[in-house]
Amino acid sequence: MRAIRYQQIAEDLRSRVGRGEFGAGKLLPSESELSGAYAASRITIRKALEVLRDEGLVDARQGFGWFVAADPLRQSLGRLGTIEAQLAASGVRSERRVLDFGFVPAPPRARQVLGAATVLEVRRLNLADDEPFARVTVWCPDDLGASISRDDVERASFYELLDVPLGGAVQTIGASLASPDDAALLEVPVGSAVLRCERTTSTADGRPVLLSEHVFPAHRTEFLVDLPLADQSIAPSGLRLLG
């Protein structure tokens, strides 16, 4: 029996995903682009994609588009750690690409948190199994960053490079929309949902020494918080709601 057109398209897309043309979590061409590529109506394209969604191969989000289905990469908030260490613990290969490195006048937020007029600013892209996973920008007071080189931040985390005892961090997480720059780096549509995290890391005696901003594609990321039973409290230790 001759395959119906949408079935043919579904089979071809299935093969392309199987060959690795579109990696896990990777955005597929838009319905309009696929319509042109296959010389088929958007109704036919959507029906082919729905076949693949029923198989669990692709998924879609409003305002985002179709992407190759994958289990979200989960990060625990139970302890202080790096993205790379969390990914490695999940069996995911990570890579750090430094985009910008230099000493700059402290942006207002960094000046407020770190109390420094000049900071080392490092902007990088983190990849998980070769796919963009996070855009990270870190600010460090210039007195602590003076001995740190670009080669250093390409091979190791600030937690390893700072020559001070660290005491912990405070992290806030909120929903945001992808800016044009972040959308290009993370390979997601401009204005699509992202998770934005701000983390302030302090020394054992309470001095803030790192401010970092992490932007994650929302469809690829989950944060895990353990909820131990606590007397007279509805919130776990370390978790607070911001009004």
Torsion angle of the four alpha carbons 200, 230, 79, 140, in this order, in degrees rounded to the nearest 10: 10
- Whether 234 is in a domain gets the answer no
What b/e sequence results for 51-67 when a residue is b if at least 16 CB atoms lie within 10 Å of its CB, and e otherwise? Answer: bbeeeebbbbeeebbbb
Same-domain check for residues 95 and 207:
yes
Task: Report the pLDDT value the prediction gives residue 17, as an integer from 0 to 100.
Answer: 86
Same-domain check for residues 100 and 198:
yes
Same-domain check for residues 140 and 64:
no
Q: Which domain holds residue 36?
A: 5-68
Amino acid identity of 71?
Answer: D
- Whether 138 is in a domain gets the answer yes
Same-domain check for residues 197 and 97:
yes
Q: Is the pLDDT of residue 79 over 80?
A: no
Same-domain check for residues 211 and 108:
yes
Same-domain check for residues 45 and 115:
no
Same-domain check for residues 146 and 208:
yes
129 or 87: which carries more pLDDT confidence? 129
Amino acid identity of 154?
Answer: E
Domain containing residue 17: CATH number: 1.10.10.10
Same-domain check for residues 117 and 52:
no
Task: Report the pLDDT value the prediction gives residue 3, as an integer from 0 to 100.
Answer: 59
Domain containing residue 146: CATH number: 3.40.1410.10
Same-domain check for residues 62 and 80:
no
Q: What is the pLDDT of residues 44-71, one digit of tens each?
A: 999 999 999 888 888 888 777 888 887 6
DSSP class of residue 43 equals H
Whole-prediction pTM value? 0.76
Same-domain check for residues 86 and 200:
yes
Same-domain check for residues 81 and 196:
yes
Q: What total of structural domains would you count in the chain?
A: 2
Beta strands per DSSP E along the chain: 58-61, 65-68, 73-76, 94-105, 118-128, 131-141, 166-177, 193-203, 208-217, 221-224
232 or 110: which carries more pLDDT confidence? 110
Task: Report the pLDDT value the prediction gives residue 106, as an integer from 0 to 100.
Answer: 97
Q: Is the pLDDT of residue 120 over 90?
A: yes
Specify the 3-state DSSP secondary structure of 94: strand
Long-range residue pairs from 150-157, CB within 8 A, at least 24 positions apart, any chain = 150/98, 150/101, 153/96, 153/98, 153/101, 153/122, 153/124, 154/96, 154/98, 157/82, 157/84
Q: What is the pLDDT of residues 165-220, one digit of tens each?
A: 999 899 999 999 999 999 999 988 888 889 999 999 999 999 999 999 999 988 88
Same-domain check for residues 60 and 167:
no
Which residues make Cβ contacts (< 8 Å) with residue 8, sequence separation at least 6? none
Q: Is the pLDDT of residue 36 over 70?
A: yes
As a whole number of angstroms, the distance between CA 203 and CA 228 comes to: 26
